[in-house]
Homo-oligomer: A and B are copies of this chain.
Amino acid sequence: MTTSTSEIIGILGGMGPAATADFYAKLVSMTPGSSDQDHLRTVIWSDPTIPDRTDALLGDGPDPTPWLLDGSRVLREAGATVIAIPCNTAHAFVPRIAEHVGLPIVHMIGEVAQHLSTMSPRIHTAGLLATTGTLRAGLYQDWLGRFGIRLALPDAGSQDREVMAGIRAVKAGDRDGTSALLERAARRLTEQGAQAVIAGCTEIPLGLPADAVDVPLVDPALVLAQALVRRAGRGSTAGEAA
């Protein structure tokens, strides 16, 4: 074994499953190393049966908290030393589970806010493509506010017909038609002055190529992967998040 860390990454996933696979691939690609043995031990609980997070936040479905607690327990018992949740919307439930999981949670949205605050030239306004649940819960508003960054959001029509339609298409396994929808939504945000666009739902980078947006597209999954690699003491990561 050439690994020098005792950290075991716990990924609370399945929201959705394709985004979880994508997140793990990003974690692997961000870890510097030249052989299998340089990589981090990881345990992934991917439970796609977790009730839809946006439905719950809009009062249209069951509270996913018990499922999140159950998954956290599985990860802890498997030996995880830290938890990462590659689902933006699920972060609305982090305050309800944080005290009960017995492990630190690396907060994806907090990491994105910090990442944005260090970008150069300085970001005053960031655009956000995210689920209606994430918008309603005010997750990015709260975190970006702490760093003095203003948020540009889609109007209600664009949110419904472009952003949520694109996210649902990715979840249904249809990535082809989605790029045009999400591209249009992103363009509306840059027209409002967004100097960077946050792909604030883990399905969005699967349907929107970074080069389709003319400002930096920040992928929270990559930012989270970088934070985990740094935390595990693997020094500089193998790439850049934005």
Contact = CB atoms under 8 A, between A and B. Distances in A.
Q: Give the residue among A22, A36, A40, A172 with the most B Cβ atoms within 10 A.
A: A36
A34 B172 CA distance: 4
A242 interface: no
A33 B41 CA distance: 30
Interface stretch (A45-53, A96-104, A215-223): A45-53
Provide the main secondary structure of the chain A interface: mixed
Interface residues of A, number: 44
Interface string A16-43: 1110111011001101011111111111
As for how many copies of this chain the complex holds, the number is 2
A79 interface: yes
A75 to B, nearest CB: 8
A15 interface: yes
Nearest to A35: B171
Contacts of A25: 18, 21-22, 25
B52 A46 contact: no
A212 interface: no
Given A17-B28, A20-B24, A173-B238, A41 B36 contact: no
Contacts of A86: none
Interface in A39-91: 39-52, 74, 77-79
Interface of A: 1, 3, 14-18, 20-22, 24-25, 28-29, 31, 33-52, 74, 77-79, 168, 171-173, 238
